[in-house]
Amino acid sequence: MTSQDSHNLFPSGFAHYPLYFSPEEQAGLIDAVKQGIAVAPFFQPTMPRTGAPLSVVMSNFGSLGWVTDKEKGYRYEPCHPKTGQPWPKLPEALGVLWDKVTDFPARPEATLINWYRADKASKMGMHVDNDENDLRAPVVSVSLGDPAMFRIGGPKRGGPTQGIKLYSGDVVVLAGDARLCHHGVSKVYYGESALVPKGGRINLTMRRVNGIGAT
Ligand code: SIN
Ligand code: FE2
């Protein structure tokens, strides 16, 4: 392999499963999201310190949910910031997915639901997922609805990135070196899928927060 080739490689531990979920299974996941949102409505996350809104809205499944606001910043919380109620339980299909695509011996406590909306031109800036206590566990994400350009770089901010277009039903795993690589969503191809009832893209990101043995 030449060094030229190595520039075109995704980091080790990055895995992409195109169309992992069938259209019927995708519809089932959207139903599960709808049921989740009925008790834990989408909330508007804001950036630490500046309080600037993110362009996505969020909710979560699981015993912990990822939240962010001006006052307390990025963190995991057992309850919804607006309702004060626990997050809805992880849909079994997602627990089964985790077991199939990772060899991590405990299921994720947190599954973040991000909704990318056409009217907000939602996308996601480059970042590393590092609010978890156990950074060895992989991150597993499911794409539903409109396609998106997912970008992944290296461990340092600002380096070269690779792009991959993710379609509804695709699954991405960030394990190994990829787990701590910068990544983001540079573009969503709005209006291409009719799966999400009010349009746009939903991404489900499953993360193990605490080490094995913790609940
Ligand atoms: C994220 O990493 O926060 C979201 C990734 C995605 O939407 O595909
Ligand atoms: Fe992320």
Tell me the per-residue pLDDT of 83-117, one tens digit each, with 9 for 90 and over: 999 999 999 999 999 999 999 999 999 999 999 99
The distance of Cα 90 from the centroid of its chain, to the nearest Å, equals 14
- What are the pLDDT digits (tens) for 36-79? 999 999 999 999 999 999 999 999 999 999 999 999 999 999 99
- What are the pLDDT digits (tens) for 135-153? 889 999 999 999 999 999 9
Rounded Cα distance between 215 and 209, Å, is 9
C-alpha gyration radius of the chain: 16
The pTM is what? 0.94
Question: Residue 129, SS3?
Answer: coil
**Residues whose CB falls within 8 Å of the CB of residue 137, separated by 6 or more in sequence, listed in order:** 102, 104, 106, 108, 207, 208
A 10 A CB-CB count for 197 gives 10
Which domains are seen in the chain, by residue range?
3-207 (2.60.120.590)
User: From the CA of 176, how far away is ligand 2's center (Å)?
Assistant: 15
The distance of Cα 133 from the centroid of its chain, to the nearest Å, equals 17
| Ligand 1 interacting residues, C-beta cut-off 6 A | 114, 124, 141, 143, 150, 183, 185, 203, 205
